[in-house]
Chains A and B, each alone.
Chain A
């Protein structure tokens, strides 16, 4: 079955700097890659997603890139702000597993003012 790895497990950046979180997946049939942000004690919130027919997607300060050949995808946050501090989860799913979404272990991002 699918296995999703995520790095780093913790990340600290200065306010205004960029943050990059990287994930790898094992199932070459995976075709949907969402990213969730979870603040302490709150629900995971979908912040951006990408499908396998595109290589990059942007939404204001966040962007996701996908390399299908290498089976990895990354989240990029530019001009980080303290409110970006949270745990970020990547995930992957495929039609061959009936859209079952497998989550990575998470990255705890701290943005230092």
Chain B
């Protein structure tokens, strides 16, 4: 049961522009969402999170938006840098129990 979906397997953007990564979920009970970044042969590293009581959270160049009615969240990276090139996963949980992950979006930021 794919409760978290990332429908874009890849995204390519120019350095300095905005990267927008999208994620959809089906379980309306999810109340905590996270974004992770992963390089090859490494474990995922935490980027940013958002609770369902908020609709936006910012941390430097990274902003996560949550639209509960649409069951959709997005990660904005502005400005994009070549070092941001990685696979990005969104994840969701109910009350910090097990986390469900999407299949990932591979971001390529071109210099």
Whether chain B is bound by chain A comes out as no
